[in-house]
Each structure stands twice: as C-alpha cells, then as structure tokens.
Amino acid sequence: MSQITLFPRSTSFSEIIPLPASKSESNRALVINALAKGTLDNLSNLAEARDTQTMIRLLSENGPEADVLDAGTTMRFLTAYYAVTGAVKKMNGTPRMCERPIGILVDALRALGADITYLNKEGYPPMQLNGFAFKGNREISIRGDVSSQFISAILMVAPLLPEGLKLQITGALGSKPYIEMTLAQMKHFGIEAKADWSTGTIEIPKQVYRLQPFAVESDWSGASYWYSMVALSPFEDSSLELLGLKEDSLQGDSAIKAIMEPLGVKSTYTGRGYLLTKIPAQDSLAWDFTDCPDLAQTICVVAAVLDIPLTLTGLESLKVKETDRVLALQNELKKLGASLVEKEANHLYEVTGNFSAIAAIEPIETYDDHRIAMCFSLAAFGTPLRINDPACVAKTFPEFFFVALHVGKGIRNVVTDRFDDADFFRGQHRTRFQENRQGAVQFVAVADRNHNHGQGMDLFAQRFASGGKTVGTIELTAQRNRLGLGYQFLKHYISVWNAKTRTITLLKRIFSRFSKNGSVQRIPAHFP
C-alpha cells in the first residue's frame, strides 16, 4: 500500500493560502447550468475535486450508463436530473457507492412520474432510469433527517415540472444550510422559491432557468483543516490567511469560524478572505453538528490532540458517508490515545483522551475516505504520523498533501512496499506553485531508501519560491515493466496539479512520449 509519513513542524508559520473551490457550490452550479442549457463558460472557479470532475464528465456524455464512481453528490443530483429530463440511463458506482441508500430520493422521483428500477438491492444503486411521465402530482413529502442532498436534488429539477412543486419536509431537518445554498444558487439563475421553515414546506412554481455567470466560492470544509493547523501549532505567532472565502458565505461549513474560536483560533475578515491567529483555548467544547456534519471528524481530532473534552451531537448522517465515519473515528482515535463514546444512542457522543501520553502512533487507516485521511493527518503537528492510502484525498481536496501540509514540516516515505519495481522518475525540479504564495517553504517526498531502487526516487523534491523562473531537465527511465505502481502514482498526482500552470500539461506530455524500446529520454522542462 502507499503511505505518507508526516513530521511535526519545528518553527512557526505565517502564510497566505489559496483554497480550493467549493465542491458543494460547484456541483449545484453544474446541474443548474445544465438545466439552463448553458456551457461551462458560464461558470468560473469550479472545483478540481474528483466529484466535480466526474459531474462535468457525465454531463458532457450521452452514453447509456452514468458511472459516478464514489461521488455520492453526483449520484443523487444526476439521478434527479436524468429522471426529470426523461433520460434512459443506468446509474452505477463503486461497490461502496452501491451500499449507500438512495430509496428516499427514488420514491420521491417516482411519485412525480419517474420510471426507475433497482437492478440489485431495493433502495440502493445500481438503478435503471427509463424516462419520465408526469403523474399530475405537484405535492410530495420527503424525509429531512437522512441527507439534505435528496432534497436539493429534487429542488433543482422542480422548476421543470409541469405544475411546479410543493415539497413537504418531514421529521427533523439536517444540514439546512445546504438546502439554503441550493435555493440561493437557483435564485441566482432566475428561480423564485418560497420556503416556510416553520412548517417545513418549500414551494417552487414552474419556471425557466436563466443563464447567468456564476463564480464558485472557496471551500469552507477545506478551510477547516487550515483552522486546525493554527489550533494545533505549538507556536503562538503562527497565522494563516485563507483566500477566496466570503463574509456572507452560502456554505454551512462556514460555522468553522465559531467552532474553532473555543479551540484557540480567531477569524478576522480581510476583504479577500480570513486571517487566522491563535488565541487561548477553552477547557471544553460542546457542539451540535447537525448543520455541518463534515466538520465533526476534524474537530474530534483537534480536541483529541489538544486533550480538550468534546461533546457532540448531530453525527447521524456520518454513518452513511464514504464509510461509517463514526466507526472509523472510534477505531482511529484510539491510536491517538482518545475515545469517541456514544453516550446516547444515535445522538450524544463524547471525545476524551490523553494524547500527550502516546509514545508512538500506529499507521492511520483511511477507509478510502478523504476526510478521514485529511483530519487525522493533522495529528502530525504533535508527533510523527503515517497515513495509509493517502490518495483518497483526491475526492475533494486533491492538492492536500502537496499544498496544505507544507505548513507542516515535511512529507517522506510516500511510497513503500508496492513501489519495489518503480524506478521510474529520477531527478528533481523547482517550480513556482502559486503566484500569490509568499515565503519559501520546502517539503520533500522521497521513496523509502531501504528499497533497492539504486538512487531511488526523488519524487518532486520541491521548493516553493516567490518570484523567478526555473528551467530544469527531467530524466525518465521508460522501462514499462519497471514502472509498476509508480506510474499510477505519478499519473494520479498529475491530476492534482493546478491546471492554470503548465506543469500538468508538461507531465502529461512527457508520459505520452515514452519510447517503446525502453530508452531514456531527456526532455527540457520549463516551469512558470
């Protein structure tokens, strides 16, 4: 398996950080823009997350099957999109995706007139969509306590219905800010809706989406990891400015500002984002994560490392995410000397621990879950830490270990046992990563030298410098039988690179020029 070993930082930091775009806003904008029959030119700052790129790919295809991979948002939004637009389409995904329930959404779409058949297990993907015939029913009900994405999926297609829609939300409503985000983005594209939260009803008349340009905000859930780095830094003068965050954000995860204050982080709006500085932390924290469940696991790790008792509610939806995140947290927090205890069934949880007493931490399992990988990596601010299968972060924050964790000290031993035959990339280069990066921060990713690679693999030994250009030479040994998983590793991280730089183009071009006879090629590499 691939691994990353992280080490504590020995100095303070003061950085300006450009954040990735919001996946939540991006995915909604893509569906709404498609319903308005717009092109991608109408949208700017779309997320580079795998979920969003999957959405873009599927909306551009006309095949008989939509394979969403592991993208739960894409599965839910596109099921509604294809159903109401009358598409004949098979909806499919990874094995884990096919274990995530979708029956609530399918029942609602069937009530409106969608012809949907389960192909395996009732209530779960894969499914066959066979068109749409309106049943004359403009009033339906849907549960609000499982996933707000079911509700958002229905709302976005509601204006296309012959008589519009009156939606009754039953039970407790979770993640309400995400529904408000959906309605706000719909309004931006010309759709009027009336929401009565006291009765749980939303009415949307039949309307036509109007094409409008839309710029996606930076991602507040991604910002949570940077908040955590400030909270966990042992240096009182550590600070970060996060660019692209709005003061009046549509994202529910902007609640991280309030959550992190008792954990020792002050947020100050700068006009271009938020400046994070350290303040004294409180002795304990209690928080209801009903409206921001994706923040819960990050807060659990921060509280565990700081030895701050934490009481949590609103974790119910975490059990049906990419993995059962409650169980994953319980398993991995033990390695930090902490525990997540369920005090009231499916309601109240407590985190307690003694992180300072841990001499060494066992490798963290990630369960193919991006948020588990990212939140537990934060513990490396306290002690060396190894993360198994770190590539799962590509789902929402593909730059995480190459960009975010440079604030930490370093990244080493990126590859281990499965790279024994991967003598594929030698040499090193320097590159300006972002024009607005300040300072010179170095991190290194190298192969484990215990493996018999000759010189091994100095993979992207980089120095992020402000100003100047660098011209280098990349040497590749193109012996296909020796590339092994190493090629797949580098191929993955090509997709991580900022598309606005020529680095991503360059690496793709290099691999396309591999010779068939296994010879060594020297290709000049120019980096902006």
How is the chain split into domains, by residue range?
8-20+218-361, 23-215, 417-527
8-20+218-361 with 23-215: one CATH topology?
yes
Instruction: Tell me if residue 41 is catalytic.
Output: no
At 510, the pLDDT band (50, 70, 90 cuts) reads very low
| pLDDT at residue 471 in the model | 23
pLDDT-above-90 percentage for the chain: 51
Q: Which pairing describes strands 410-412 and 3-7: parallel, antiparallel, or unpaired?
A: antiparallel
**Mean confidence (pLDDT) of the chain:** 77
User: What average pLDDT does this structure show over 300-327?
Assistant: 89
SS3 296: helix
Q: At residue 166, does pLDDT exceed 60?
A: yes
Query: Residues 305, 336: contact at Cβ < 8 Å?
Result: yes
Q: How far apart are alpha carbons 61 and 388 in whole angstroms?
A: 34
Q: At residue 447, does pLDDT exceed 50?
A: no
| pLDDT at residue 11 in the model | 80
User: What average pLDDT does this structure show over 173-179?
Assistant: 88
11 or 88, which is more confident:
88
Whole-Å CA distances, 407 to 10, 113, 233, 351, 442: 11, 52, 10, 26, 9
Q: At residue 9, does pLDDT exceed 80?
A: no
For the segment(s) 8-20+218-361, the CATH number from 3.40.50.720, 3.65.10.10, 3.40.50.300, 3.90.220.20 is 3.65.10.10
Q: How far apart are alpha carbons 348 and 367 in whole angstroms?
A: 24
Q: pLDDT by residue (tens digit) across 410-436?
A: 433 332 222 222 222 222 222 222 222
| pLDDT at residue 402 in the model | 60
| pLDDT at residue 403 in the model | 56
Q: How far apart are alpha carbons 300 and 332 in whole angstroms?
A: 11
| pLDDT at residue 227 in the model | 95
According to DSSP, residue 212 is labeled -
pLDDT-above-70 percentage for the chain: 75
53 or 460, which is more confident:
53
Q: pLDDT by residue (tens digit) across 98-153?
A: 999 999 999 999 999 999 999 999 999 999 999 999 988 899 999 998 889 999 99
Strands (E), 136-283: 139-143, 165-170, 194-196, 201-204, 214-215, 239-243, 265-269, 273-278
528 or 198, which is more confident:
198
Q: How far apart are alpha carbons 298 and 219 in whole angstroms?
A: 15
For the residues of 154-175, what is the DSSP string, one character each?
HHHHGGGSTT-EEEEEESPPP-
Q: pLDDT by residue (tens digit) across 317-338?
A: 787 677 888 999 999 999 999 9
445 or 287, which is more confident:
287
Q: Which of 208-217, 297-306, 369-378 has the lowest mean pLDDT?
A: 369-378
Determine the topology of domain 23-215 in CATH: UDP-n-acetylglucosamine1-carboxyvinyl-transferase; Chain (3.65.10)
Residues 6 or more apart whose Cβ sits within 8 Å of residue 268? 274, 275, 276, 277
Q: Letter for the amino acid at 213?
A: P
List the catalytic residue out of 70, 294, 369, 448.
294
| pLDDT at residue 411 in the model | 37
pTM (2 d.p.): 0.68
526 or 46, which is more confident:
46
Which residues partner with 526 through β-bridges? 471
| pLDDT at residue 336 in the model | 93
pLDDT winner (highest mean) among 161-170, 235-244, 396-405: 161-170
The first and second tokens of residue 31, run together, are: 């569906």
| pLDDT at residue 110 in the model | 97
At 386, the pLDDT band (50, 70, 90 cuts) reads confident
